[in-house]
Amino acid sequence: MSFKAWFISDLHIQDEDESNSQKLLLFLHSLENQSRPGTHLFLVGDIFDLWIEKHSYFIEKYPKIVNAIRVLVARGIEVHYFEGNHDLYLRKFWQQEVGVKVHDGPEFFNLGSVKIRVEHGDLMNPDDKGYLFLKKVLQSAPVKLIAQKLPSSGVRWIGERASRASRHYTSNQKKLDANHIKRFMHRYADEVVHEPPVDYLISGHTHLRDVYEMDREGDQVFSINLGSWFDDQKALLIDGDGYQFVNVGDDPS
């Protein structure tokens, strides 16, 4: 099976008029018209700075992005969306109405002969007790029920404040020395690379783009963190020839 799988994460889009939103739309359109060929698109969390449940506020705020992804699904591109810590409870809209496959934890994929493990990456640091507690609360049944029942205006009010709190907390964590962040990312990769064995571990969340090479019985295994779009806008491409980061601002023709 020939495949070309694209991965992006941590865009934190807040408005369709902002620069990163426009670049995302150009990237999605390039997949649609096959100027950048693709068989799979993986949205690895925190694509939006806030998206909760199936509320009209979010659907109406990002119609161009929603429609562009809907078109990709209709064209036969397999799209996967991993919930992050800013985009939660996505199944009712993104999976049931748009046709995107939604995941709330790590998933394994066999693309041709290539085995890939994908997750947002917010559970990589076991020492980050505060965030792990926050994640558990956010994924609890009572909070999910509240998110379902609140009107869009209420979700917007609560969500924007929760998003600011999460952004403040995680930004403080991400001020840690880059080598410290890499240490816990690499330690995590070493722990999960054999569960089951894979060729690539793909994650986001830390906003630190990184490639960590491991050896698995003589074979190369790569743990790749996608970084964010705050400093530069890159998508990861994996196909039968290997991997590469591609600048979405480049002309694909």
- Quick check: is 252 in a domain? no
**Considering the chain, what is the average pLDDT of its residues?**
86
Q: Where does the pLDDT of residue 123 fall: very low under 50, low under 70, confident under 90, or very high at 90 and above?
A: confident
Q: Taking the CA atoms of 232, 82, 26 and 20 in sequence, report the sign of the dihedral they define.
A: negative
pLDDT at 216 over 60: yes
Q: Tell me whether residue 73 is in a domain.
A: yes
Residue-wise pLDDT tens digits, 58-111: 999 999 999 999 999 999 999 999 998 888 889 999 999 999 999 999 999 999
Examine residue 253 and state whether it is found in any structural domain, yes or no: no
Task: Count structural domains, the chain.
Answer: 1
Q: At what angle do helices 63-74 and 19-32 cross, to 10 degrees?
A: 20
Looking at residue 24, which CATH number applies to its domain? 3.60.21.10
pTM of the shown model: 0.88
Band (pLDDT 50/70/90 cuts) for residue 180 is confident
- Report yes or no on 80 lying in a domain: yes
Indicate whether 56 pLDDT > 90: no
Residue 187 lies in a domain: yes
Using one digit for the tens of pLDDT, what is the confidence trace for 27-43? 999 999 999 999 999 99
pLDDT digits (tens, 9 = 90+) for 134-168: 566 566 666 666 666 666 666 666 656 655 655 55
**Is the residue at 222 inside a domain?**
yes
pLDDT at 171 over 70: no
Helix (H, G, I), strand (E, B) or coil at 40: strand
Domain that holds residue 77: 4-247
**23 pLDDT higher than 80:** yes
Beta strands in the chain (DSSP E): 4-8, 40-43, 51-52, 78-82, 87-88, 101-103, 107-111, 114-118, 200-203, 210-216, 219-225, 234-239, 242-247
Domain membership of residue 139 (yes or no) is yes
